Structure formats: C-alpha cells, structure tokens
Structure 1
Amino acid sequence: MLKSGQIFIDNMRFHAHHGVLEQERLTGGDFLVSLSASYPLGKATESDDVTDTLNYAEVYEIVKSEMDIPSKLLEHVAGRIGKRLLKTIPLISELTVRLTKVNPPMGADCDGAGVLLHFINDENC
C-alpha cells in the first residue's frame, strides 16, 4: 500500500516587487515558483476524493500571498513560503521551493537566477 508521495506545482508565474535594487522593488519583475511536497497520498489513490489530498488551490493562494510581500532577497521570500506552507498544512513532511527571477539585472544572458530551498517538517519525523 502506498504510504506517501509528492505533489508538485511547476512554474507558477507572478509579477512581484523583490530585489536588492530600489528600481526592482518599484517596477517589479517576473518570477516563477515551483514546489514539491511530500504528503500522505495513499488514501487519495483509493478514495478519488479531493478532501484526501493536498489542495493545489490552497497552496497557490499561500504562495501568491507571500509573493505579494516585497523583499530584497529571494532567499527570504522562499523561506517565508516554505515556513507558511509547513505551518498551514502540517501533513507535509518535506517541501522543496524553487524561486526564479526571470530577468535578473546582472548583465547575463540567462533564463533566470534564484534559490532552491528544502524544508523538513520536524513535527512529522
């Protein structure tokens, strides 16, 4: 019997006001947030009932509300997202949050730059 699995949401797009430079916080920029969460999915694989799984819409609303709060560092934003998800949805045992600034002001030709944070819910260990 399946005990756990992961749920993921890839590349949620946001226009937000994060960055070290004042201009970044004034005009904003484009960001992508992806996450994967380890969650007990065994019951949902049998029941076909949405109440037995992680609600994607609830996760999205949490991410969106944290992305709406300006910060200088992407590490800070991703940290807030992770902490809030673990606090709000305590059945998440592990969580990975990837936050990408799509067009970072660093003079490089790249698809983006960002952070990847991995959280472990000590309450579930």
Structure 2
Amino acid sequence: MQHTIEVNGIKLYAFHGCLVEEEKIGGHYTVDVSIKTDFTASFASDELADTVDYVKINQVVREEMAIRSKLIEHVGYRISKRLQTEIKGLITSKVKVIKHCPPIGGDVNDVAIIIEN
C-alpha cells in the first residue's frame, strides 16, 4: 500500500540566486515535501520507528537550504536526493522549492520548482 506524508510550508531565509545581491542579502523561501510510503506497520504498532519522522524531513530541508546554490533547481535536487537516501521506507517523493519576491524585473509573488522522484 502507498500512503502520503506531507510537510508543507517550511519557511526559511536563504542565500540562493545568480545575482551577487542575492548572495549578500538573501531572501525568503518556502519548501513543501510530499513522501509516498507505507503506513501499514505504524497502523498496528503506533510507533514512530515504523513510519517517516517529520523532524527528519524538516532537518534535511533546513540543512540543504543552508548551502548556497545559484539555482533553486540545484537545491531542490539535493533535498530530493538526500530524502531518497536517508528516509527509510520512501517510495517516491515530491519537493517544491518556492522563492518569494524573485528579482526578475516585474511584480511577481514567487517562482517555484518541483522535483518528483
């Protein structure tokens, strides 16, 4: 069976971007993570060890977002790869990285990338 765990709205301040200004002043980001897994063991046991720990997902996102990248595609890929290797029972994942108020010469709320594995 496949079930879904979501950790949405992880709010961060990070320094991603191609512009020198972005490296120096940073900006606001939000990350959403969705993981397909199997809850069957946790249904019976009611134990954290038998499911995916939300704290671990949040930790991976925060650690990878703290490492500067020029592209949010790059940081999203890093998050996705770490989740694949570090989350026991992960079947598939979806990572969405949202960059708020991007400096793209217009009135834009945000830009986002989505990586599904």
TM range (shorter): over 0.9
**Following superposition, which runs of at least 4 residues in structure 1 exceed 6 angstroms of deviation?**
none
Instruction: Calculate the TM-score normalised by the size of structure 2.
Output: 0.95
Q: Which residue of 2 aligns with 1:112?
A: 110
Taking the TM superposition and a 5 Å limit, the aligned residue runs for 1:1-125 are 3-119=1-117
Report if aligned partners of 2:17, 2:69 keep a CA contact under 8 Å in 1.
yes
**CA shift digits 1:66-110 (9 cap, x unpaired):** 000000000000000000110112421100000000110113323
The one-letter amino acid of 1:59's match is I
**Distance between the aligned counterparts of 1:105 and 1:17, measured in 2?**
13
* Structure-1 separation of matches of 2:41 and 2:91: 16
Write out per-residue CA displacement over residues 35-70 of structure 1, whole angstroms, 9 at most, x where no aligned residue.
Answer: 100011111123221111100001111110000000
Aligned to 1:6, the other structure's residue is in SS state strand
Q: Paired residues, what number?
A: 117
Q: Secondary structure of the equivalent of 1:116?
A: strand
SS at match of 2:12: strand
Unaligned residue ranges in structure 2 (runs of 5+) = none
Look up the equivalent residue of 1:44 and give its one-letter code: S
TM-score (structure 1 length as normaliser)? 0.89
Gaps spanning 5+ residues in structure 1: where?
Answer: 120-125
